[in-house]
Amino acid sequence: MILKSLRTYFNNALLGYYPDTEIKSFFHLLSERVLKMKRIDISQNLYAVVSGKKYDKFQKAIDGLKKYEPIQYILGDTEFYGLVFKVNPSVLIPRPETEELVQWIINCHSEQNKETELNILDIGTGSGCIAISLAKNLSNAKVFALDISNDALKTAKQNAVNNEVEVEFIEADILDWDCGNLEFDIIVSNPPYVRELEKEGMSANVLEHEPHLALFVKDDDALLFYRNITEISKTILKPNGQLYFEINESLGERTKDLLVNNDFKSIELKRDIFDKDRMIKAIKR
Ligand SMILES: C[S@@+](CC[C@H](N)C(=O)[O-])C[C@H]1O[C@@H](n2cnc3c(N)ncnc32)[C@H](O)[C@@H]1O
């Protein structure tokens, strides 16, 4: 099939499933990946023939998109903080809000003495996006990353290799973790924080394809992970060590109270680019 006809076929197949602009953007992403053609190249090669495996990849993408599979899972990777991360249904697709959390940590620590090692623990690492971005950008960091999911850790390990950083991975349940004598300067976590009651407003590509283990908490215990990680941090954070959380936009004040009640100081609640309460930082006394 020639490229011009493939584009029309692709648009028509997905009509009614997604807005027109989104279908165009999927087509451009796939063309870049499968045909190595940027937007400008497409208009200049409308009569190029797309066949065999290349055509099959477009057809497979149409089939997946019709089932609302996220385009990142279909492509097999995504970009986060300027790095490429492999993603699959065992890991949450990294979000731009989380890049802001990473940026905050890097801003706070990049000026520190490079001679002093900075021990960092990322809890609920998923694809490894937070841990690996910090390891890549803070030259004095020694990064540990923990997750309960063995499949997620396999992906995260691959991402660490691909991005050429060393991260120590730990398979454990943070709600029942014997941390031994580890001590950290920084603990960061983007734990599950979506309440079951919030499912209603969520789109099919998230609800039906991203791991529920990474997303949901019970309505009556939304701060389960925050309470637990704050408690553990009282033991394994060094004095003046810093705790960073990504948070549920509706639970900013409650998360802040939790940290105040646990005697953390200098608590800062920060909004994301969408002007929602999204992250919090606190210092251990
Ligand atoms: C919201 S995702 C965050 C993933 C990644 N850090 C990110 O920001 O994209 C939460 C992660 O916590 C992990 N998780 C869920 N329950 C856990 C538990 N009890 N102990 C450790 N990790 C857990 C999930 O497997 C998932 O990878």
Nearest to 234 by CA among 270, 258, 252: 258
Closest Cα to atom 11 of ligand 1: 124
CA 49 to ligand 1 centroid distance, Å = 44
CA 125 to ligand 1 centroid distance, Å = 6
The torsion of the CA quartet 251, 254, 258, 260, rounded to 10 degrees, works out to 120
What backbone phi and psi angles, to 5 degrees, belong to 118?
-110, 110
Q: How far apart are the first and last CA of the chain?
A: 66
User: Could you give the C-alpha distances from 104 to 100, 152, 247, in angstroms and in order?
Assistant: 6, 25, 14
Angle at 75 between CA 56 and CA 97, to 5 degrees: 155
CA atoms within 13 A on the CB side of 264: 29
Q: Which ligand 1 atom is the nearest neighbour of the CA of 175? A: 19
- Cα 190 to Cα 180: distance, rounded to the nearest angstrom: 22
pLDDT tens, residue order, the chain (285 aa): 999 999 999 999 999 999 999 999 999 999 999 999 999 999 999 999 999 999 999 999 999 999 999 999 999 999 999 999 999 999 999 999 999 999 999 999 987 777 789 999 999 999 999 999 999 999 999 999 999 999 999 999 999 999 999 999 999 999 999 988 899 999 999 999 999 999 998 999 999 999 999 999 999 999 999 999 999 999 999 999 999 999 999 999 999 999 999 999 999 999 999 999 999 999 999
Closest Cα to atom 17 of ligand 1: 148
Which CATH number applies to 89-284: 3.30.70.1400, 3.90.470.20, 3.40.50.150, 3.40.50.2020?
3.40.50.150
CA 128 to ligand 1 centroid distance, Å = 10
Sign of the Cα pseudo-torsion (116, 283, 271, 219, in order) = positive
Best probe residue, ligand 1, of 85, 90, 92, 105 (max atoms within 8 Å of C-beta):
92
Q: How many residues does the chain have?
A: 285
CA 158 to ligand 1 centroid distance, Å = 17
